[in-house]
């Protein structure tokens, strides 16, 4: 089933010319205006822009123009956040409100001139951003501002709002920095804001830091709220013998982390189709003519803890090699709406050390009169990312891509999975990781914190000795991070995969082992989603799945992604049905006796999928989320893809979970079609949504919280940009979609079209070559300049 976009007629393929904020008139291709910017924008089906310019400044101008036309409110709100003005414009309930904490954090970054300092140094893309990237950012800002001047904003979220304003270049560099520290300082934001020294009378009153506490409790370093699947298929796994890539990032469906599809070209220098986070000027997941890649969120940690030994009587001084060092302090102030809307100042004093900021996590990392804890955030100085993605798009093979990774070491918190037209596939976690080698961990992690390191990869180093500093690897791009020799990489001609577990089983035939624990774990059970992802590839290559033939085409890859198998159901459903048949009554966790007869019958008839027609899929999902999947067996390291697999039917918590699921679904028919109870609003429509929870072992992950008594009525997270691309002598081909559609503006023609397409498992085709672009029935071309 293809997308079949509406044919708008030959008139839409006619060339139109728009002068940004000036008069409309003819202009030669890429002719720059008075300010030096020009781009050609060809809108294809579903509003996807194909942007061409003669230089990177013009390319950025076109991207800024197009993104502002489709998602201006998303970009504007991101800028409000990094400008420390969320409380001012969106309100706050008090000094501990999340908006206030965010504002304090970003106000300190502004006062510290964090973004400005990222632009200092040699412009080689490693020490500071290159001229190409700076021009692209400058052009993006000009394009956004030109679009803002040109036409009234129609998105009701920000139309006429005082927080919608022209951008500056620093705004974009600040949003870029905020993305870099997503899994480190920003994840620990409330712990940084809450850090207050003890007084002579004792410890300061503890402030909650739930975000930081969640980071400490997490089993790995993946930032909350994001995930992904990706396949890199080599020539041995594909029917045509060239490489293929599946990109399937799982990201929020609303807000600042939405993706945006685009095709960007500077003739002779850059030609990449794919997607980027809204507000970023460069393709981050995509393909060129001979190389394709995707990213998945890595398990590696992005910061290291340092336990400080404080100077007696002075809790803001610490000992380093026996000598006292004074913390630096900075007091910042933000304005918070008070009674009657009158601004009220809220101030906080932050404390920094030679390592980085002091962080408090009550009950785990407290600031007492004898000790405190600081972090080194190795992404806080990461100014290399845009250059890295730019050069990645210029690479021709996976080997050249690895050279880019090794030179720039820019990936903030993601793996890369790639393949090339020659049929070679790549997995690499060459992300930015603190330089905590096994030797450093053994010598410098105090005994009480060794279990934390073993279980979660969080390193708490002795901050009183210079011998325990992070140091520098000779092959690292910058000091303090692991060099490429300490990071996992695997080349294959069959396949590599990742679904947010560690590097260990990128390909089970050749496990990656022996890397520092801070990067990830080895020899431990994989998630059900990881296991399904591997099982799907193995079955396709063996020809034992439900599809004809062996090996992958883009059609078969698309069918695999949206096959909507529920791996947990395949493993435990029959045993669960046997258990609830034998025990038709169970007590819920609230102590209520629940009749399981109807639920048991529904599960027996369920098709083990999360398709629109699947009946009872939501019941199994609630059973999983209530903690019902408990295995009786453990991991068999000789068969890690398929173990553990036996339901612990004797564990009373299994049927308790089923009873809890029945209670939660009160008012929602247990045997309802998934498409009737799991939907996404678009205007007056409720679009049926297929897919399900990762915890149930669903590859096509969708998170749509339950509205009691009604169903699942708004998707908050899950499959977003999906790309299945094949690489060969004729250029790239395949399928792609942006599940939540190109625009967040309800008045845009591109607000719901791809969401309807996703509902029917449809797709838009890869449009990279000129022939592919020209074949689009809805192609519309215009030129913009300033």
Active site residues: 228
Residue 23 CB neighbours (<10 A): 6
Distances (CA, A) of 498 to 426, 432, 505, 533, 685: 11, 18, 8, 8, 35
For 640, the enclosing helix (H) or strand (E) is none
Whole-angstrom CA distances from 45 to 79, 455, 778, 782 are 29, 48, 5, 15
Identify any residues that bridge with 51 across adjacent strands, giving them in sequence order. Answer: 41, 264
Q: Which pair of tokens denotes residue 678? A: 């799991």
Written in H, E and C, the secondary structure of 305-346 is EEEEEEECCEEEEEEECCEEEECEEEEEEEEEECHHHCEEEE
Distance CA 404, CA 492 (A): 19
Is 131:138 a contact under the CB 8 Å cutoff?
no
| Coil, strand or helix at 271 | strand
- DSSP character at residue 602: H
To which residue do tokens 């502002």 refer?
Answer: 68
Pairing of strands 414-420, 425-428: antiparallel
> Which is nearest to 257 in space by CA: 193, 183, 160?
183
**3-state secondary structure at position 540:** helix
Q: Name the percent of the chain in helix, strand, coil, to the closest 5.
A: 30, 25, 45
CA dist., res. 739 & res. 723, Å (int): 11
- Pick the closest to residue 249 from 728, 637, 722, 737 (CA basis): 722
What residues form DSSP beta bridges with 307? 373, 462
Rg for the chain, CA atoms, rounded: 26
């Amino acid at each position: 089933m293809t997308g079949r976009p509406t044919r708008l007629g030959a008139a839409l393929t006619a060339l139109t010319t728009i002068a940004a904020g000036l008069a409309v008139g003819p202009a030669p291709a890429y002719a720059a205006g008075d300010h030096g910017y020009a781009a050609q924008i060809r809108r294809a089906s579903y509003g996807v822009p194909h942007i061409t310019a003669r230089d990177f400044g013009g390319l950025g101008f076109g991207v800024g123009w197009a993104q502002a036309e489709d998602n201006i409110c998303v970009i504007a709100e991101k800028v409000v956040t990094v400008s420390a003005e969320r409380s001012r414009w969106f309100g706050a309930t008090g000094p501990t409100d999340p908006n206030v904490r965010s504002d304090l954090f970003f106000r300190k970054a502004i006062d510290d001139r964090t973004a400005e300092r990222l632009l200092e140094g040699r412009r080689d893309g490693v020490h500071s951003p290159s001229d190409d990237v700076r021009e692209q950012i400058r052009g993006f800002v000009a394009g956004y501002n030109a679009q803002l001047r040109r036409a009234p904003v129609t998105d009701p979220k920000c139309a006429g709002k005082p927080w919608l304003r022209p951008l500056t270049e620093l705004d974009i560099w600040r949003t870029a920095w905020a993305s870099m520290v997503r899994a480190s300082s920003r994840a620990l934001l409330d712990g940084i804001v809450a850090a207050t020294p003890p007084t002579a009378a004792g410890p300061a009153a503890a402030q909650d830091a739930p975000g930081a506490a969640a980071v400490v409790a997490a089993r790995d370093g993946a930032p909350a709220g994001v995930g992904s699947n990706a396949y890199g298929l080599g020539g041995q796994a594909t029917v045509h013998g060239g490489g293929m890539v599946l990109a399937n990032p799982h990201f929020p469906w609303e807000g600042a982390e939405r993706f945006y599809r685009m095709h960007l070209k500077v003739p002779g220098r850059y030609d990449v189709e794919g997607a980027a986070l809204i507000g970023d000027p460069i393709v981050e997941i995509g393909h060129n003519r001979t190389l394709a890649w995707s990213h998945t969120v890595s398990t590696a940690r992005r910061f290291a803890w340092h336990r400080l030994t404080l100077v007696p009587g002075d809790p803001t001084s610490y000992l380093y090699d026996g000598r006292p060092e004074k913390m630096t302090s900075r007091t910042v102030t933000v304005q918070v709406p008070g009674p009657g809307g009158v601004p009220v100042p809220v101030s906080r004093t932050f404390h920094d050390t030679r390592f980085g900021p002091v962080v408090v996590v009550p009950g785990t990392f407290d600031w007492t009169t004898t000790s405190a804890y600081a972090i080194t955030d190795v992404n806080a100085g990461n100014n290399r990312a845009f250059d890295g993605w730019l050069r990645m798009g210029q690479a021709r093979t996976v080997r050249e891509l690895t050279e880019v990774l090794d030179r720039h070491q820019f990936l903030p918190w993601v793996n890369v999975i790639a393949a090339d037209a020659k049929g070679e596939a790549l997995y690499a976690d060459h992300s930015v990781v603190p330089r905590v080698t096994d030797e450093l961990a053994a010598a410098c992690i105090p005994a009480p914190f060794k279990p934390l390191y073993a279980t979660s990869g969080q390193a708490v180093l002795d901050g009183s000795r210079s011998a325990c500093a992070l140091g520098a690897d000779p092959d690292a791009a910058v000091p303090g991070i692991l060099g490429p020799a300490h990071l996992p990489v695997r080349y294959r001609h069959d396949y590599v995969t990742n679904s947010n577990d560690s590097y260990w089983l990128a390909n089970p035939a050749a496990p990656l082992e022996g890397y520092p624990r801070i990067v990830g774990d080895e020899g431990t059970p994989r998630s059900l989603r990881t296991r399904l992802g591997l099982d799907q590839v193995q079955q396709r290559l063996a020809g034992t799945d439900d599809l004809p033939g062996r090996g992958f085409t883009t059609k078969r890859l698309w069918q695999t992604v949206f096959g909507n198998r529920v791996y947990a159901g395949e493993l435990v459903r029959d045993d669960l049905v046997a258990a609830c048949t034998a025990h038709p009554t169970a007590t819920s966790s609230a102590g209520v006796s629940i009749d399981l007869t109807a639920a048991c019958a529904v599960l027996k008839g369920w098709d083990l999928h999360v398709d629109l027609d699947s009946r009872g899929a939501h019941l199994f999902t609630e059973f999983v989320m209530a903690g019902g999947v408990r295995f009786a067996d453990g991991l068999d390291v000789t068969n890690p893809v398929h173990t553990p697999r036996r339901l612990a039917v004797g564990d009373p918590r299994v049927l308790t979970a089923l009873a809890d699921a029945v209670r939660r679904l009160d008012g929602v028919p247990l045997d309802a079609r998934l498409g009737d109870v799991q939907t996404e609003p678009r205007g007056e429509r409720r679009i049926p949504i297929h897919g399900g929870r990762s915890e149930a072992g669903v590859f096509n992950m969708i998170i749509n919280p339950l509205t009691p008594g009604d169903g699942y009525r708004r998707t908050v997270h899950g499959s977003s940009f999906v790309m299945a691309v094949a690489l060969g002598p004729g250029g790239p081909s395949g399928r792609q979609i942006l599940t939540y559609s190109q625009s967040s503006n309800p008045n845009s023609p591109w607000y719901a079209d791809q969401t309807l397409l996703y509902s029917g498992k449809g797709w838009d085709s890869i449009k990279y070559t000129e022939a592919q672009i020209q074949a689009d029935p809805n192609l519309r071309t215009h030129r913009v300049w300033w």
